[in-house]
A and B are shown apart, each in its own frame.
With several copies, the nearest count.
Chain A
Amino acid sequence: MSTQTQSTGTVTMAQGLNRALRDALTEDEDVLVFGEDVGTLGGVFRITDGLTADFGEDRCFDTPLAEAGIAGFAVGLAMQGFRPVIEMQFDAFGYPAFEQVVSHIAKMRNRTRSMLTMPIVIRIPYAGGIGGVEHHCDSSEGYYAHTPGLHVVTPSTPADAYSLLREAIASPDPVVFMEPKALYWSRAELELPVTTEPFGRAAVRREGSDVTVVAYGPQVPNALKAAEVAADEEGWDVEVIDLRTLVPFDDETVAASVRKTGRCVVVSEAAGFGGVGGEIAARVSERCFHSLAAPVLRVSGLDIPYPPPILEHTHLPGVDRILDTIARLQWDDQPDVARLEVSR
């Protein structure tokens, strides 16, 4: 997408995102960045740092404090040919915009037979692990992924953050761009133009032959760590897939991997019930049933409101829970039914 080849060295995901916004603002005059505190302040996470200074308040600006307003304003601007990139300050604060997102942004193309399109990017810092207080660490990707008409994307590396955000802004359709807060300050190489997998493709982050771990966003580093420990301590060869985009979903890569390994663990941070994790597990079981040596198991957040800093580690899928779950895959009978039903 970006034409200059240049290595920026190691950057944080926050910097990768900022760079993507800069390059998009530079390349396309119709790109507008707005939301709460994204202007002068540069966003509470500084993702829009310096954009107002460098591109003017005309291109990157603060709005009144109203999320439905922000989303609806983006709809109106998209109707006039602009490409709004809006920010919901924290995941739970995207909920006031839910109707605008679900009933308009997701449906406008369909309602108008593609005559009116909504090339809007909704950036949402999501998930936890940063010691945030209540309402600041929701994982709301499940709501959006369940809404036809939206693309849902979540990077786990600075390079993906850059390339996926560029692709999201260039997309003719709305993209809910979920940014894992806990990874904002994670560092890695970013070489431009980036050569990541394209939108809609999952990345095999680690190859392995014994079990496939499917993860996305904030849980990818945990999956990779678990894979290392599993290799070191148990000799299990774990393949780790980073989904990158939840909608569209890359069935091909996931199914190919599970058909190879015969085992699968799905990791997601959101509350488990009715979330994306269940969808993935169901898809894998549907498609790879006869290759499976064990049921597809899930590791997810607990079915509770996101808990406080002092207890968030209890809620979050971590390396240990992923390892425990991989261990449970080595069934040859049904040893775990007892465990699952211990509370009855």
Chain B
Amino acid sequence: MSKTTADLLPCGDPVQFLNEQGELTGPGAEAEARGYTMPSDEDLLAVWRQMVIGRRFDTQATALTKQGRLAVYPSSRGQDACQVAPMLALQADDWFFPTYRDSMALVSRGLDPVEVLTLLRGSWHCGYDPVATNTAPQCTPLATQAVHAAGAGHGLARRGSDGVALCFIGDGATSEGDFHEGLNFAAVFNAPTVYFVQNNKYAISVPLAKQTKAPSLAYKGIGYGIRSEQVDGNDAAAVLAVTRTALEHASSGSGPFLIEAHTYRLEAHTNADDATRYRESDEVTQWSTRDPIARLRAYLTGTGALTAEIEEQVTAEAEEYAARVRERMNAEPEVAPLSLFEHVYAQPTPQLREQADLVRAEMDEVRA
């Protein structure tokens, strides 16, 4: 096998810097040779802080479903390192392609949390401004965003931007044809697009073993000529390091990059799902001990970067953040039936104008 061919395969084991106890043990020679470097304490502290806030946001959102304030919420608790670290690696020019599960990532990117929750709250639109935020609407039809990200990456390169399109995708969604087509287009057009697979081990109830027989999802990259890596997705340091390398790789014109992050979804698929039907509580308990926040906390406490004072302050910040979300979500969302007709086309068709008239007449009747 030629050198270049080997370069397209991931490391034999997921890249890891911090072990489960938060001790610096990695990344090991193979990973080091690929240029993944340990982030600074400062960067890691920022990741830790945002993970604390992000998780608080996430638990708040789950709570809001119980109060009927959200129609549905897919939690990413347990995947916090994947949700947060790549966001802090993004530059302003970069575009982000999130899925329904990536609300924590969106707020970590700095988007307004209530805007982020708009769709899940029951509105018909994505809430935020995709152009102002360089962020595509959260994508529900699985894997379709993999192709959008290839096109957007190519578009960024055409515009002469250094920007990269970062595409999040789940392990289950890698089975969809659009994942394949997206990676292939990205490779053929040498698009600056990074695919970040959050392998949280389940697609709703279906475990990874029923999804693929690949040695790991990162082995899919070579089939497209795409450089690939697997990383411990609960090690925020490793996630940050590998994502940075991937973004640089893409931004510098070396083409797309595929990352598989091994992580775990601690909550059910959404609040509407009953995870006890398909997985053992043992498994969940075991993964709880690999908590990405605790791990980074242990490391940063060890280096002295994280003090009790900072921790207290960040905890308070997180509570405040959640309180503000809760409060704002208590306001009823705007209900304006006629807005349904406003954004189907730039100009409503005569047919839509008729239908709007009908609805308007009905509203008048009710009012009268």
Contacts and interface: CB of A to CB of B under 8 A. Distances in A.
| A/B touching: CB–CB < 8 A | yes
Interface of A: 36-37, 39-42, 44, 62-69, 71-82, 92-93, 95-96, 99-100, 103-104, 108-117, 131-136, 148-149, 151, 171-173, 200, 247-252, 273, 302-305, 307-311, 314-315, 320-321, 324, 339-344
B350 interface: yes
A271 to B, nearest CB: 10
Contacts of B342: 113-114
Nearest to A78: B151
8 contacts: A41-B277, A64-B175, A65-B175, A79-B148, A80-B156, A108-B137, A305-B124, A343-B350
Interface of B: 71-72, 95, 119-120, 122-126, 129-132, 136-137, 140-142, 144, 146-156, 158-159, 165, 172-173, 175-178, 180-182, 184-185, 188, 203-206, 210-212, 273, 277-278, 333, 335, 337, 340-346, 349-357, 359, 361-362
A69 B155 contact: no
A343 B331 CA distance: 35
B344 A109 contact: yes
Nearest to B359: A314
Given A77-B155, A311-B124, A72 B205 contact: no
B147 A72 contact: yes
A173 to B, nearest CB: 5
A173 B126 CA distance: 19
Given A64-B175, A72-B181, A73-B185, A113 B345 contact: no
Majority DSSP secondary structure for residues of B touching A: helix
Identify which of B119, B149, B153, B340 gathers the most chain A CB atoms within 10 Å of its CB: B340
B148 A42 contact: no
Dominant secondary structure at the A interface = loop
Contacts of A68: 144, 147, 177-178, 181
Nearest to A92: B141
Nearest to A314: B337
Nearest to A324: B362
A109 B130 CA distance: 11
Contact of A248 (B122, B155, B184, B350): B350
B88 to A, nearest CB: 23
B142 A310 contact: no
B350 A64 contact: no
A134 B346 CA distance: 20
Contact of A75 (B148, B153, B273, B354): B148
A66 B184 contact: yes
